[in-house]
Structure 1
Amino acid sequence: MISGTRYNLTLEINRQLSLAQQIAYGQAQISTTKRLQAPSDDPVAAARIAQIGITQVNESAWNTNLANAAAAASRADTALGAVENALGRANELMISAANGTLSAADRSTIALELRSIADELSALQVTKDSRGNDLFPSSAPTQIPVGDGLTIAAVGTKADIFQVDTSSGPQDMAAIIGAAADALDANDPAAIGQSLDDIGAAVQHAATEHGKQGARGNRIDQFIDGLADSGLQLKEERSGLEDTDVTAVVAKLQSQELTLQAAQAVFARVNQHTLFDLLG
């Protein structure tokens, strides 16, 4: 009888200790807002949370890269807009100068403006990015990592943008405009006609390159949007695996605390009996 009673008491003590541990665990879940207090609580969920964490770190780095790429692409788009405007103005000037009725003074005035445009184009070639580096690289464009095994170029090279294929071979935009100014100063009809053709080719080339730059910017925006969607999905999945459902845990805690209190009360009453009471 005594042995059986001791066995029952031991079972009851262990049951109450287990309840107390469960209550402490629930309280820790609430205070830390984390459902898992150790990987062993749910190894499968813990492994997935670790994988999500690595992906989130990678995506944070890719987002930083994309922000820099977007800034460079925007600056390049602005520069190419200025190139188009400058070439458009040069084209207007050459069309007006090609009619052959202008005086030497008029041609000189147009040539002076053309040289100013050539200087502007030369300055645009060496536009700097936010870090003070050349926006348009002289060599291959920098490939920026933006995903797992994915890279993009935010801008084209200097040669891609400012070298124009003309009937007389590749020429620099600024040099084309400078040659047009020289043709006007020399009043050389053949050279003026050639310059007009070359400037027309430069206008078309600039429009094409500006379109390519717009496509680069759109692609960067698509990557940014894709990472934003991925980030939300990962955050929601991680929250579902990791975060405490406070309402559910509080309800369970209240039930466990009531059970423990009742068990302790019964245990206290039972153990008020003496050994002789138990023997009797």
Structure 2
Amino acid sequence: MSNLSIANSISSYIQQSEQALQTAISQASTGIRVSTPSDDPASAAALVGLQAAAATVDQYTSNTQTSLSQVQLADSVVTSVVSLLNRAITLGTEGANSTNSSVDRQSIAADVNGILTSVVSLANTTFQGQSLFGGTASGTTAFTADATSSTGYTYNGNSNINKISVGDTLTVQVNIPGSTLFDNPSASVLGALSNLAKALASGTSADIGSATNDISSALTAVSQQHAVYGSASNQLTSQESFLAQETVSFTSRETSIVGIDAATAIENLNQAQTSNSTVLAAAAKVSQQKTLLDYLN
């Protein structure tokens, strides 16, 4: 074997040994066995599929978290509306008492008008820049003042329901249109409050009693719709927990595909260091006029 051939063989052995050592060092320090597809083509292909599935779960998780925040805000708003309607019923009951003077009723009417204003403000709550109760309409305020309307307000949204995908087979309703919740023709919150204020200002005790009954009907309707948010919140909270578990599972599976346990990594590193030392020692011997094969033999 010529000196050139011997030198090339030595160089090749050293390069292979150094590459194996660097791979072992990298695996021991990072805990990752597959850094590039060439390290393990089958594992790399499995990883691609796993990462695609994990990305879908990440999107569902984002949808779930955003939807849960929206639903919780809406639930809080409706809770406040329910409280205001109960207050309006109390005021209406007080106002219907025949012992009240005109001045007393005017004062109570002012309180009811204040409740109406507060309810409209709540109905115009926004979430991430969009009307919470505007249906699926974007860039609009749900209710605006309108002197020509019997309630004093006009609904500017639509009646569409928004359902969000939070799983492969799971969608959740996250909104109730303002036309359903606040201005339902069969039990209008705004209409009932407006009528109660008018009855208190200029109506009879019977008118006030009738208007108060309408508030009670509106409250019943709102309470029924309120349950939609409670159900959605429960579904989303449960799904959030499920998706969190899925994320942990994907992370574990990814580690099992591309990772390497610490004990194995240290063992491989020790073997690579030993092998590298042997190759370098052999190369040193060859440089003293012995071939690598002679040394190994």
Q: What amino acid is aligned across from residue 58 of structure 2 in structure 1?
A: S
Contact 2:193 2:215 in 1 (8 A): yes
CA distance in 2, matches of 1:115, 1:12: 95
Which residue does 1:60 correspond to in 2? 58
CA distance in 2, matches of 1:274, 1:251: 31
1:188-229 Cα offsets, whole Å, 9 max, x none, are 344223212211112222222223212222222122111111
**1:182 match: secondary structure:** helix
The reply to whether residue 185 of structure 1 matches residue 205 of structure 2 is no
Runs of 5+ in structure 1 lacking a partner?
3-9
Contact 1:155 1:216 in 2 (8 A): no
The reply to whether residue 220 of structure 1 matches residue 207 of structure 2 is no
Q: What amino acid is aligned across from residue 243 of structure 1 in structure 2?
A: G
CA distance in 2, matches of 1:266, 1:210: 81
CA distance in 2, matches of 1:263, 1:104: 107
Which residue does 1:37 correspond to in 2? 35
Q: Relative to structure 2, which stretch is displaced further, 24-33 or 241-250?
A: 24-33
Q: In structure 2, do the counterparts of structure 1 residues 175 and 253 end up closer, same or farther at CA, with 3 Å as the change threshold?
A: same
Q: What amino acid is aligned across from residue 215 of structure 2 in structure 1?
A: I
CA distance in 1, matches of 2:290, 2:46: 55
Using the size of structure 1 for normalisation, the TM-score is 0.80
1:229-257 Cα offsets, whole Å, 9 max, x none, are 11111111111221233432222221233
Contact 2:88 2:112 in 1 (8 A): yes
Q: Relative to structure 2, which stretch is displaced further, 185-194 or 107-116?
A: 185-194
Q: What amino acid is aligned across from residue 175 of structure 1 in structure 2?
A: G
The reply to whether residue 135 of structure 1 matches residue 155 of structure 2 is no
1:8-51 Cα offsets, whole Å, 9 max, x none, are xx999987775554334323433554201332443332222112
Match of 2:111 among 107, 113, 120: 113
Which residue does 1:69 correspond to in 2? 67
Q: What amino acid is aligned across from residue 100 of structure 2 in structure 1?
A: L
1:67-96 Cα offsets, whole Å, 9 max, x none, are 322221122122111101110000001112
Which residue does 1:159 correspond to in 2? 179
The reply to whether residue 255 of structure 1 matches residue 271 of structure 2 is yes
Contact 1:29 1:37 in 2 (8 A): no
Q: In structure 2, do the counterparts of structure 1 residues 273 and 72 end up closer, same or farther at CA, with 3 Å as the change threshold?
A: closer
Q: What amino acid is aligned across from residue 73 of structure 1 in structure 2?
A: V
**Structure ranking higher in helix proportion:** 1
Q: What percentage of residue pairs aligned between the two structures are identical?
A: 23
CA distance in 1, matches of 2:226, 2:290: 96
What is the RMSD computed on CA atoms of the aligned residues? 3.2
CA distance in 1, matches of 2:198, 2:36: 79
Q: In structure 2, do the counterparts of structure 1 residues 185 and 21 end up closer, same or farther at CA, with 3 Å as the change threshold?
A: closer
Which residue does 1:144 correspond to in 2? 164
Alpha-carbon distance, 1:130 to partner: 2.8
The reply to whether residue 125 of structure 1 matches residue 123 of structure 2 is yes
CA distance in 2, matches of 1:118, 1:45: 64
Contact 1:70 1:217 in 2 (8 A): yes
1:100-130 Cα offsets, whole Å, 9 max, x none, are 2222222221112112212222222221113
CA distance in 1, matches of 2:275, 2:290: 26
The reply to whether residue 242 of structure 1 matches residue 258 of structure 2 is yes
Q: What amino acid is aligned across from residue 229 of structure 1 in structure 2?
A: Q
**1:170 match: secondary structure:** coil
CA distance in 2, matches of 1:79, 1:274: 88
Task: Decide which structure has the larger Cα Rg and report it.
Answer: 1
Contact 1:118 1:175 in 2 (8 A): no
**1:145 match: secondary structure:** strand
Q: Aligned residue pairs: how many?
A: 267
Q: In structure 2, do the counterparts of structure 1 residues 270 and 173 end up closer, same or farther at CA, with 3 Å as the change threshold?
A: closer
**1:155 match: secondary structure:** coil
Q: In structure 2, do the counterparts of structure 1 residues 11 and 85 end up closer, same or farther at CA, with 3 Å as the change threshold?
A: same
